[in-house]
Amino acid sequence: MNFKINLHAHTDYSDGVNTIEEMARISRKIGFTALVITDHFYPGAPGLSLSLDSFNKQIEEARIVSNKLKYPIILGAECILENKDEVNVFGTDAIKHILRSNSDSIELFKQVKKDYNCSMILNHPSNNHMMSYYIDLLTLVDGYELYNRGIKCIRDEDIEQIFSLVPFYSNSDAHIDYNLNGNYNIVTEKITTEDQLINFLKSKKGPCGVAVAGEES
């Protein structure tokens, strides 16, 4: 049996339009096994970024909404790195450590990956770095977005070959509820909790299929 899940979406806790409840209602209607929220963390960008305080509030709001709708909600965070790439981090304790540190240092993220039960996915790779950089980045991430908002991110065959060592994902990067269905992943496991998601990503099984809306040729 196959299941649907999207791993990249935003709410009004960063630069999204909708509340957690509004996103959860649409996510449930689409048939995703859980709503996965990944609001932004940009050091020094109040109002557009999660802080430790706002993330704690988001955790409580997600708990209330999940109980109300009887529908699972998993919180991650889309964190910027010092080179301007971004990773989705999954693991509440790991995210809190990053927010508390208020840093975009790649070395911080590598240490967090060692110290916490967490997983990281590289979002919308830019194709703009040296091969050695991407090879080093593979020590940090458990997968990457090949498709984001219907667009294929990596268009360099050599870079894509390097990243073939980890699974690719297709995510909507939705900033408004009706875009949630644009891209998603088809998986063989029913993912409804943070631990299940982390274990799935760390297993590097990857999706058994992806949905891609509006892919550019």
CA 23 to chain centre: 15
Whole-angstrom distance, CA of residue 141 vs CA of residue 145? 11
Q: Which residue has the tokens 């997968």?
A: 143
Whole-angstrom distance, CA of residue 201 vs CA of residue 150? 21
- The CATH number of the structural domain formed by 3-212 is 3.20.20.140
**Where do the DSSP E strands lie in 66-201?**
73-80, 86-90, 119-123, 143-148, 151-152, 168-171, 183-187
Positions in the chain short of pLDDT 50:
216-217
Task: Specify the pLDDT at position 47.
Answer: 73
Q: Give the phi and the psi of residue 149 in degrees, each rounded to 5.
A: 55, 35
CA 68 to chain centre: 24
In 10 A of CB 79, how many CB atoms? 28
Query: Does the reported pTM lie above 0.75?
Result: yes
Give 61-70 pLDDT, tens digit per residue: 999 999 999 9
Contacts of 205 (CB under 8 A, 6+ apart): 167, 187, 188
Contacts of 88 (CB under 8 A, 6+ apart): 7, 8, 38, 76, 77, 78, 79, 120, 121, 123
Task: Specify the pLDDT at position 214.
Answer: 59
